[in-house]
Structure 1
Amino acid sequence: MDLGADRRGVDMGPSAIRYAGVKKRLEMIGYEVEDKGDLKVATRESESIVYPNLKYLKQIVDVNRALAIVVEQEVNKGRFPLILGGDHSIAIGTIAGMAKRKKDLGVIWFDAHGDLNTAETTPSGNVHGMSLAVSLGIGHPDLTGIGGLDPKIKPEHVVIIGARELDRGEKELIKRIGLKVFTMHEIDRLGMPRVMEEALSIVGKGTDGMHLSLDLDGLDPHDAPGVGTPVIGGITYRESHLAMEMIAEANILSSAEFVEVNPILDIQNKTAKVAVALMSSAFGDKLL
């Protein structure tokens, strides 16, 4: 999927992650992995923008409806859904599918951005900047209604980690609904161990599972150059591994997605390799 973003290339992210050896890496640490393949996504060249402040709305709704169904089906089989992106608008479908099985889902959202815009506040019209708001039941009804549940998650069960570029409307929404956000200021000041301890305490309280939504632009562009919207001053490679290791130790992870890998902007598939390494840590891989 690249319909939710302006910059082209993230539609090739899943292929780059596969090429970086995600299946083999997870199998090496003891997991049985089935690659379900890609969902069908319309190309920009065959579609047109109807709503400038909700670009490719219908097409994004169609893909996320399909994704929600697949995610729910896999959870019903007792499997762990790991979703590869693609732009961050796919989180709408992932969380919609998980919400059918987890009534009080906790969410850790690693991202440089809040993804809390709506059609009224968006400066770009890109839906990948609205996916968390949609999951909270805030936004266009065609998006919030995917999966039949609205909202999918509660503000008190959500934590954003790594934010360093928030739009005005997002800041206002964060304050209004009381969403917990650990910006880079808090990470620098408190350190990643304390941030993760507090985050895991929040998403683990009164919840029946935890979803990890990791946008690779949450990392510093030095470590993850191949992303659509890079912002300097992000989480370091080592800090991100520590965060994933602490998630694995908490043993509450029930689904995950890794998004916004853009091979066109990458250097020798570096960002996809980082994504695979982080997945491995989140799934319990250790040095010793």
Structure 2
Amino acid sequence: MTSHPSSHRAAGGVSLIGVPTDVGAGSLGARMGPEALRVAGIAQAIAQFGLDVKDCGNLSGPANPGQPAVNGFRHLPEVVQWNQTLHDAMYAELSAGRLPIMLGGDHCLGIGSISAVARHCRDTGKKLRVLWFDAHADFNTATLTPSGNIHGMPVACLCGHGPQELIEIGGHVPAIKPKDIRQIGIRSVDEGEKRLVHDMGIEVFDMRYIDEMGMRHAMELALALIDSNTHLHVSLDVDFLDPTIAPGVGTTVRGGPTYREAQLCMEMIADTGRLASLDVVELNPALDERNRTAELAVDLIESLFGKSTLMRKA
């Protein structure tokens, strides 16, 4: 295996931030995700590229109260608290010139993470591109949601559709514009959500598109127009992957990308040299088999940081 260190922007070092909560999810267990990723060797996998890896440990926040939804939201006060704490931690690492990796936790944490990245981009005058790898569009609102679980709402909240205390976390509403985000691997969207995603004009490369056009074409479009002034953020929900290779998630959806398709996504991102922050979310070790989903996630992250089979010609 060989790597090309020029393929990422982590010269200032990489910071791991564990966020052990499943407060936004329907099933318990994602709170154990950060530890599973550590056990699978995430720090060592990144350090092999000669990068300084700092494990910031786990953030702390309220326990999961296990309550039903109130006005369309489950656990809103707890979700707000976790996301505010995460926003502050991510923003501090970005401000220090480091590449933060958020180890989730469920995907409601994308609100705190990406609002911090968006704030950093406003500070530095950078363009933002978010690649959202997920089986779900995560664009539910209180009126649309079947469950009230906020891990189904982060993209809506980031685009300004959500409770005031969540949409304001980064200090700017909306935190991101719909044109900043590309969704890849989508194959489960609730009825009301379909209309909203369409109306907002979010660019979605769903599984049918990937089946018809190929993953390479989808990724070329998702990465189009990225330049040296672009901050590239990857939000990787492990349910993006087909459950036959990644069983350790609470919301499996059949028909996801294969191992090779997922690797290609990561390799093409590495080739841009623009990766500047990362979320790894929805890993649920309670549903996994011998930590294989965490090990697969770490394998993909290695590719994201530039692992390749052969020396590539520049």
Alpha-carbon displacement from aligned partner over 1:35-89 (angstroms, at most 9, x marks no partner): 00111122224x7556152111011101111111111111111100111111001
In structure 1, what is the equivalent of residue 9 of structure 2? none
Candidates 18, 22, 37, aligned match of 1:2: 22
More helix by share: 1
Matches of 2:55 and 2:71, distance apart in 1: 35
In structure 2, what is the equivalent of residue 135 of structure 1? 158
Runs of 4+ in structure 1 off by over 4 angstroms are 47-50
Matches of 1:99 and 1:253, distance apart in 2: 14
1:87 paired to 2:109: no
> 1:251 Cα shift?
1.5
Matches of 1:194 and 1:174, distance apart in 2: 21
1:286 paired to 2:286: no
Letter in 1 for 2:275: L
In structure 2, what is the equivalent of residue 250 of structure 1? 272
In structure 1, what is the equivalent of residue 208 of structure 2? 185
Matches of 1:161 and 1:205, distance apart in 2: 20
Gaps spanning 5+ residues in structure 1: where? none
Matches of 1:250 and 1:161, distance apart in 2: 17
> 1:29 Cα shift?
1.9
1:20 paired to 2:40: yes
Identity of aligned residues (%): 45
Q: Secondary structure at the match of 1:258?
A: strand
Deviates more, 1:211-220 or 1:150-159: 150-159
Gaps spanning 5+ residues in structure 2: where? 1-20
Matches of 2:170 and 2:84, distance apart in 1: 7
More strand by share: 2
Matches of 2:26 and 2:181, distance apart in 1: 26
Is the contact between residue 115 and residue 176 of structure 2 (CA under 8 Å) also seen in structure 1? no
Alignment of 1:95-110 (within 5 A): 95-103=114-122, 104-110=127-133
Q: Secondary structure at the match of 1:217?
A: helix
Matches of 1:206 and 1:135, distance apart in 2: 24
Candidates 259, 282, 285, aligned match of 1:263: 285
Q: Secondary structure at the match of 1:100?
A: helix
1:170 paired to 2:207: no
1:55 paired to 2:95: no
Alpha-carbon displacement from aligned partner over 1:214-266 (angstroms, at most 9, x marks no partner): 10000000110000100000011110011000001011211111111000100
Matches of 1:157 and 1:225, distance apart in 2: 30
Alpha-carbon displacement from aligned partner over 1:151-195 (angstroms, at most 9, x marks no partner): 111111211000000011221011111111011011111111111
Matches of 1:207 and 1:166, distance apart in 2: 33
Letter in 2 for 1:181: V
RMSD between aligned residues: 1.5
Candidates 217, 223, 233, aligned match of 1:194: 217
TM-score normalised over the length of structure 2: 0.88
Candidates 74, 84, 96, aligned match of 1:77: 96
Matches of 2:35 and 2:82, distance apart in 1: 18
In structure 1, what is the equivalent of residue 31 of structure 2? 11
Is the contact between residue 228 and residue 274 of structure 2 (CA under 8 Å) also seen in structure 1? no
Alpha-carbon displacement from aligned partner over 1:96-148 (angstroms, at most 9, x marks no partner): 11111113321110000000001111110000000011111111111101121
Alpha-carbon displacement from aligned partner over 1:197-227 (angstroms, at most 9, x marks no partner): 000016x279731110010000000110000
- Number of aligned pairs? 286
In structure 2, what is the equivalent of residue 221 of structure 1? 243
Candidates 213, 236, 248, aligned match of 2:258: 236
> Structure 1's 121 and 179: CA in aligned 2 closer, same or farther, altered over 3 A?
same
Is the contact between residue 62 and residue 81 of structure 2 (CA under 8 Å) also seen in structure 1? no
> Structure 1's 170 and 50: CA in aligned 2 closer, same or farther, altered over 3 A?
closer
Q: Secondary structure at the match of 2:283?
A: coil
Q: Secondary structure at the match of 2:89?
A: helix
